[in-house]
Amino acid sequence: MENFAVIDLGSNSCRMTVTEIEEDGSFKRGQMTKAFVRLSEGMEASGELQELPMARTITALQGFYAVYSKLENLTLRAVATAAVRGAKNQADFLERVKQQVHGLEIQVITGNEEANYDYLGVINTLPVTNCVIMDTGGASCELVLVQNGRVQNLVSLPFGSVNLSETFLVHGTDQVAAVDLFRLSTAVQRLFNGIWWLHRGQNLPIVALGGSNRTIAKIRRKEKKVADYEDIHGFRMTVAEVDDVYANIIGRNLAQRKAIPGLSKDRADIIAAGITPIVTIMRTLDSGRVVFSENGVREGILYEHLADLRAHGRIGEVDKSAKK
């Protein structure tokens, strides 16, 4: 058995998933670990990763090391996305991680690679054929147009919940000001208008990934009193339901947002900006529904790894019943 660990260092959170892969090709998800590090915090002015977020991130990675270092037959893959990708001090940060986290080497993936991994994570675990995949992170947003089960176009846009909040919610994160919300939604709409192929996703469902988008589903499931409200993979919502959640969020101050069931207190200050893109794109494409996915970059990397193992004859055919 191989323990395949994937670390995904995002702009807002850092996550690790361990998957146990058997020789016959079957696999099951083991331990999952998450830490809110908000690595992109304060980057807007200088374009550099700041000291406190870097320190938080390294502490989180050291905690991950305490877990994966105990695993036998370990294969480790660590990737970083938008925050590290755009940082002027990227090289210094990666070297610091290597020195302070027992030689951990992190690969910085491109926006297109991130979008493609999102596609692999979705297409292997959800029954979708035609859709627009949207992954809204802390500092980037990936869009993938899927037709007949295949990628037709993809793009990575340089905005997410953290940098949108820092750029547009200039009157503070307590109460969302109407003028800030207008400028935010207008800027997002203009970026979407500049994607020439996006109109081909008209009327298609949106498959939503990323912490902010998933929060919409968690809030709705809490409202419906679903016991396992965090298990949102495959959960569907109409555009009207998404709009209701959005209106509830932007109509509250920070303390009131922290009290919303299903919304993490760590995300309350950036959630309004974080879900504005999905509300905007559903209107742009006149999408009638959104399907939520728990699987994205980390699972995409897993499926790429499984395909490589099969190609080299190291495992049998994957057991499709292991999908999640």
Positions in the chain short of pLDDT 50: 320-324
Who's near 4: CB < 8 A, 6+ residues apart?
Answer: 18, 19, 20, 21, 75, 77, 302, 305
CA distance 59 to 79: 17
Do the domains 2-111+297-322 and 126-292 sit in the same CATH topology, yes or no? Answer: yes
Count the residues in the chain: 324
Question: H helices then E strands: how many in the chain?
Answer: 12, 11
CA distance 274 to 164: 7
Please write the tens of the pLDDT for every residue from 52-78: 999 999 999 999 999 999 999 999 999
Please write the tens of the pLDDT for every residue from 17-51: 999 999 999 999 988 999 999 999 999 889 999 99
CA distance 234 to 324: 10
Report in angstroms the alpha-carbon separations of 263 from 14, 16, 207, 223, 305. 18, 21, 20, 11, 33
User: Domain 126-292's class?
Assistant: alpha beta
Query: 2-111+297-322 falls under which CATH superfamily?
Result: ATPase, nucleotide binding domain (3.30.420.40)
Please write the tens of the pLDDT for every residue from 119-136: 999 999 999 999 999 999
Domains of the chain by residue range? 2-111+297-322, 126-292
